[in-house]
Amino acid sequence: KAGVTQTPRYLIKTRGQQVTLSCSPISGHRSVSWYQQTPGQGLQFLFEYFSETQRNKGNFPGRFSGRQFSNSRSEMNVSTLELGDSALYLCAGGTEGATGELFFGEGSRLTVL
Amino acid sequence: GESVGLHLPTLSVQEGDNSIINCAYSNSASDYFIWYKQESGKGPQFIIDIRSNMDKRQGQRVTVLLNKTVKHLSLQIAATQPGDSAVYFCAEKVGGSYIPTFGRGTSLIVHP
C-alpha cells in the first residue's frame, strides 16, 4: 500500500511569510501527528489530529496551526515565519489505538531566510 | 545514550560486529517503548516495540531490553551491516497517551 506522502519536500521562504505543508497518511490511518525535527532539539511534537479534531497539542506558539480533512489528509500552517522555524517537518499516521507504531513520511524541509 | 548538546552521540562499529544503542527514558509511568530508525533523507521507521510487562523482545537481528528499575532501554543489533547506518531514536508512551516522546537519538555508523 502507498506510504505517507508529504508535500512539498523542500521549500525556501523568507521571514514573515507563511507556509502550508500537506500530509496524506496511509489509507485507513485516521490519526495524523506532526513533528518538528531540528539538530538541536530532536523530534518535537506539534499536534495530533483524529477524525478532523485536534486531539493533542504540543508546546508551540499559535503561529503553528493545523487541520485535518474528512479523508484524513492533514495540513499544517506556520504564519509569520522566523529563522528558527527552519526544520524538517514530519507527519506520521497511525491507527486509533494508543499503542502501535507511527508511519512517518519523508518530511518537508523548510528553510527560512 | 542520550545527548546533552547539539550533537548526537555516535556509535561507530565494524561490519559484522554487534551494536548496542542505549536510551535513558524519563517517565517512570511510561509503559510502552518503541525504537525507530531514521536513514538520511527519510522519515523515522519503526523497528521494534516492547511493553513494560516485558524485559526483552526479539525481532529479526534486533533485540530490545528494558530495565524499568533504572529506566533504561537498549537496542541490540546483531551482525551489523552498512545498511544499518542511521540515527536511532527511542520513544516512550504513558498508558492511554497517543503521543510518544522521542529521545534525542544516536547516530550509528557502520564501517565496511
Identify whether the C-beta of residue A66 lies closer than 8 Å to the C-beta of residue A75. Answer: yes
Output the pLDDT for position B13: 96
> Is A42 within 8 Å of B99 when comparing Cβ atoms?
no
B41: pLDDT strictly greater than 70: yes
Predicted pLDDT of residue B98: 79
> Does B33 contact A at CB distance below 8 Å?
no
How confident is the model at residue B82, as a pLDDT?
Answer: 96
pLDDT of residue B84: 97
What confidence category does residue B96 fall into, taking pLDDT thresholds of 50, 70 and 90?
confident
Task: Identify whether the C-beta of residue A31 lies closer than 8 Å to the C-beta of residue A73.
Answer: no
Task: Name the minimum distance, in Å, from the CA of A36 to any CA of chain B.
Answer: 12
Indicate the pLDDT class of residue B4, thresholds 50, 70 and 90.
very low
Is A60's Cβ below 8 Å from some Cβ in B? Answer: no
Q: How many CB atoms lie within 10 A of CB A60?
A: 16
Lowest mean pLDDT among A5-14, A94-103, B1-10, B20-29: B1-10
Scanning A6-35 for CB atoms below 8 A from B yields 31, 33, 35
Distance CA(A51)–CA(B29), nearest Å, equals 28
| Closest residue of chain A to B47, computed from CA coordinates | A101
Mean pLDDT taken over chain B: 90
Confidence class for position B2, pLDDT limits 50, 70, 90: very low
Task: Tell me the pLDDT tens digit for each residue of B65-85.
Answer: 999 999 999 999 999 999 999
| Closest listed residue to residue B76, CA positions, set B50, B44, B40, B111 | B50
Which pLDDT score is estimated for A57? 94
Chain B hits for A99, Cβ within 8 Å: 32, 49, 51, 93
Confidence (pLDDT) at A95: 78
Q: Are strands A74-78 and A87-94 parallel, antiparallel or unpaired?
A: unpaired
- Work out the average pLDDT over A86-107: 86
Query: Which of A50-54, A78-82, B5-9, B101-105 is predicted least confidently?
Result: B5-9
Q: Which of B14, B9, B27, B13 is nearest to B104 (CA)?
A: B9
**What 3-state class would DSSP assign to A87?**
strand
CA distance B76 to A104: 23
Helices (H) and strands (E) in chain A, counts: 0, 11
Q: Could you read off the pLDDT of A23-73 as tens digits, one per residue?
A: 999 998 999 999 999 987 889 999 999 999 999 999 999 999 999 999 999
Residue with cell 537481528: B61
For A4, name the nearest residue in chain B, comparing CA atoms only: B43
Phi, psi of A85 (to 5 degrees): -85, -10
Smallest CA–CA distance, residue A33 to chain B, in Å, is: 8
Would the pLDDT of B92 be above 50? yes
Residue in B50, B99, B104 to test binding to A, most A beta-carbons within 10 Å:
B99
